[in-house]
Amino acid sequence: MGRVLDMLPELLTFDPHNDLYPIFDFLLNEVEIPYTNVKKSILRCPRLLVSSVELQLRPALCFLRELGFVGPHSLTCQSTLLLVSSVEGTLLPKIEFLKGLGFTHVEVKNMVVRSPGLLTFSIENNLGPKVKYFLEEMNGDVVELKGFPQYFSFSLERRIKPRHRMLVENELHLPLRQMLKVSDGRFESWLFEMRLRKLEGMELEGVE
């Protein structure tokens, strides 16, 4: 509570019945977050408590459900933070950005449902620079991004660039999923094994 009130001191002036109960009712009965997980939703995104159900939360929920956040892909306590995003100002521009890469609307819907974090990333500071690096420096094919949208969740400076450079320096290649998902130790192990196989192959060619 201390953390939440420190972020949103205006909550101290709210009337529980008029200002807070409607939000909890919305999360429980419309978003259908289990009662035991509502606290997790609030802690992950305290702004839910100061957002209008009518003007913000419900329009965002309708938009997200149209994208495919239904059934097994329904919003969870981990993804309810998307509800505080403006449909026109935040969510739609990101959908249009991804479609601008050449993906169909259906493909984009599948991407964001599989990786909801895509809708939380800044176009200017995250999506744009990572696409630029992937296309220009890695000579990547956007089709690979469709199969591994989690690419955008990794740090460009701390993981994507360093690992790509190590592969380039050793004239090696790995699919995005293998290049990024594994731990540093596993990646270095793979790198060592690939370098060893490459050297063994070169030695065999020399013998022949």
Give every CB contact of residue 148 below 8 A, 6+ residues apart in sequence. 175, 176, 177, 180
In a domain, 133, yes or no: no
Tens place of pLDDT per residue across the chain (208 aa): 888 888 888 988 899 999 999 999 999 999 999 999 999 999 999 999 999 999 999 999 999 999 999 999 999 999 999 999 999 999 999 999 999 998 999 999 999 999 999 999 999 999 999 999 999 999 999 889 888 989 999 999 999 999 999 999 988 888 999 999 999 999 999 888 888 887 776 554 543 4
Q: Range of 5's domain?
A: 1-84
Q: Is 23 inside a domain boundary? A: yes
Contacts of 119 (CB under 8 A, 6+ apart): 82, 85, 90, 91, 94, 112
Structural tokens at position 167? 């592969």
Its pTM stands at 0.82
The amino acid at 124 = E
Domain count, the chain: 1
Amino acid (1-letter code) at residue 140: G
In a domain? residue 12: yes
Q: Is 120 contained in some domain?
A: no
Q: Is residue 147 part of a domain?
A: no
Would residue 13 count as lying in a domain?
yes
Is 34 domain-assigned?
Answer: yes
Q: Quick check: is 153 in a domain?
A: no
CB 186 within 8 A of CB 160: no
Contact 130, 152 (CB under 8 A): yes
